[in-house]
Amino acid sequence: METNLIKKRISESLENALNSGAYKNKKELSDKLKTNPTSLNKYLAGETFPQSDWIYYLCKELKIAPNWIIFGDGEEKKLSEEEPKDDMSNQFIEMQKTLLKYKDDEIKRLKQEIEFLKKSITTSNNNENIVKQPVKQLIKEEKNK
């Protein structure tokens, strides 16, 4: 899953919503999406990856298929009024599973990176001072989780 592509699709959807005239301004849209204008601006700029529950509000308010946001099949897929709400719920559940897998994979990758850094410290005294403190901080944060 490519988070930059997801952020881009979210940004495009928000731009389309603002340009559609359905919302007076960003404040109104942010209220409907249960977020604040600052966060909305970050989503518009593609700077922030939102929490998955917020993606639900986005899809529900803008009537966008969750599968399109996550997997991006072609153009923005709008949900029709007739489409069953169960269909959107099922898509959202699948999206949640995909996001959880992505997060699990990212955690695994970061743990591997930490292990690599630990080994680097123990095998190279010359570099010890360069990476010792950041790695200790990472280890401390990992233990606190």
Closest by Cα among 61, 18, 65, 64 to 37: 18
DSSP string over 43-64: HHHT--PPPHHHHHHHHHHHTB
pLDDT in tens, 70-87: 777 655 666 655 555 566
Closest by Cα among 67, 68, 119, 64 to 91: 67
Would the pLDDT of 126 be above 60?
Answer: no
For residue 112, the one-letter residue type is: Q
Q: Please tell me whether the overall predicted TM-score, pTM, comes out greater than 0.75 for this model.
A: no
What is the Cα–Cα distance from 117 to 137, expressed in whole angstroms?
Answer: 12
Encoded tokens for 105: 């994979």
Question: Scanning the structure block, which residue is given the tokens 């993606």?
Answer: 55
- Bigger pLDDT: 1 vs 86: 86
> Averaging pLDDT over each range in 5-9, 22-26, 58-62, 139-143, which range is the top one?
22-26
Q: Categorize the per-residue pLDDT at 143 as very low, low, confident or very high, splitting at 50, 70 and 90.
A: confident
Q: What is the predicted pLDDT for the residue at 80?
A: 59
